[in-house]
Amino acid sequence: MTKTTNIILTNTPVSEGWQADNPVQIFKNEIHICLKDGQELSLRDIQKAGRKIEGLGIDTAKLTGDLWTEQSQWAFAMGFTCVGKLTNVEFTGDKAGQLADKLAIFAWSRDLTNQTPSQLYPLKLAELAAEYIKTLAPEHVSVGIISGEDLEQQGWTGIYNVGKGSINPPCLMILDYNPTGDSQAPVAASLVGKGITFDSGGYSIKPSAGMFDMKCDMGGAAVVAGALALAIKQGLDKRVKLFLCCAENMVSSHAYKLGDILTYKNGLTVEVANTDAEGRLVLADGLLAAAEANSGLIIDAATLTGAAMMATGGDYTALFGLDADLMEQTKAEAVKANEPVWQLPLERWHQDKCSSVFADTANSRTQKGGGAGGASNAAGFLARFVANEGKGWLHMDLAAAYNGSANSLWAAGGTGQGIATIAALICDKA
C-alpha cells in the first residue's frame, strides 16, 4: 500500500517547541513547510525542503493547501523526487494535471539517464527515445536510424569513429515530428543530443573515479528527447527534427586513435588530439544533419566538458551562442522554468583555439582538460559546423544534468535540467 503524506505550505508555524525555527515541521502525521515571518520562501528553499522531506522516508507527497503555486509545487517536486520515486508527488490546484504530465516526462528522461551502460547501449538509446515520443503522437512521428558501417558510408564520420571501438555499434537517430501533414513543411527547429552511453575516454582513458558516472554521458540525448516530448504534450504544432548522436567510447584494437584525422561532410578535417573529447566529434555530425534540415533554430545539448562543471559548480547549465537575441531569450525562458543557466564566453575566434599542423583544426588541446577556456573552446569547435554564422544556434553544456551523489537540492542521478527551457524555446520559435 502506498503511504501518502500531506505536505502543507503555510505562513503559520505549527510548533512552538524544538521545531519552531525549522522550515520543515511535523504535526499530526502531516508535514508543514513554514514561511518565515510571513515572507515567501525562495524556490530554492522549497526545493531544499522537498529533499529533506524525502529523507524522512516519505513515500508519496500530497501537496495540499492554498499557498502552493505552480512554481513552488514544481520546485518541491524536483527536490523530493529520486530514484524509485520519480513521479511520487500529487499536485494541487488547476494546474495539477499539467504538472503531473510534466513530471512524468522528466521522470522518463531522468530514468533513461540513470540506466546502466550495459542496459543502455547506443541502439537501445535511440530505440527507447523513438518509442517514447511515438507514443505521444504516433501519427506525426517518423524515425530513421543509421547504424554501424552505414554511418561511414554516408559520411557521418564523427559518430562512426567515436563508436567503432565498441562491440555495440554507434548510430544516428533522426526523428521527424511533423504535425502539419505536409511532407514539404519547413523544419522550424532541430534538436541535437549527445548520446555517449558510456565514456571510457578511449585511449585518452579516464581514471576510475572519473569514469564511474559516465553512464550519464548520454544526458544530452535524454534532455533533448524529453524537451521534444514536453513540447508535444504542450501542443507543439510545427515541424521539429530530433538528432541523437549515439555511441560508446571504448578502447579496443579497432578504436579511433590520437593523431587520426577525420574528414566531415562539410570538408572540414579534424585531428584527434584527445579521444576523451569525443562529444564534440559526434555533435558535429548532428549539427551538420540539422543544417541540412534548414531549420531556423538549432539547439544542441550535451554533458560536454569538465570545464563547464568547474566554472559553474554543477549548479548551472552553461550557455554558448553567437546569436545575442537567442541567448537573451534562452536566459529569460530559463528563469521562468527555474532552470539556472549561465552564459560563458563564445566569439568567432574561439574556432581557432584548437589548432593543428596536419588538419583544419584539432578536437581539443593536448593539455589536461583541454587547457584554459576548455568549455568555450569546445563550443568554438562546434561553431565550425553551424550555418548562418551561428544565427539561430544555441549550445547547452549540461553541467547540471547529473549528480553522482545527493546534495541539499537534488537526489543522486539525472536531474532533467534543460528540458523545460528547450521545450519553451521550440514552442515559441516554432
Q: Which residues are catalytic?
A: 206, 280
* DSSP E strands, 272-374: 297-302, 317-320, 341-343, 361-362
Amino acid, single-letter form, for residue 101 = D
Is 138 exposed, middle or buried (CB count within 10 Å of its CB: 0-12, 13-18, 19+)? Answer: exposed
Amino acid, single-letter form, for residue 428 = D
Question: 26 pairs with which residues across the strands?
Answer: 31
Do the bridges between strand 240-249 and strand 189-199 make them parallel or antiparallel, or are there none, so unpaired?
A: parallel
Which has the closest alpha carbon to 8: 53, 48, 67?
Answer: 67
Q: Any idea which residue has 520562501 for its cell?
A: 41
Residue 317 CA, distance from chain mean position? 9
Helix H segments across 194-234? 208-211, 219-233
- State the Cα–Cα distance between residues 145 and 132, nearest whole angstrom: 15
- State the Cα–Cα distance between residues 318 and 374, nearest whole angstrom: 12
**Residue 78 near residue 410 (C-beta atoms within 8 A):** yes
**Residue 271 near residue 363 (C-beta atoms within 8 A):** yes
- State the Cα–Cα distance between residues 427 and 299, nearest whole angstrom: 13
Amino acid, single-letter form, for residue 13 = P
Do the bridges between strand 317-320 and strand 393-397 make them parallel or antiparallel, or are there none, so unpaired?
A: antiparallel
**Residue 163 near residue 249 (C-beta atoms within 8 A):** yes
Which has the closest alpha carbon to 218: 251, 247, 250?
Answer: 247
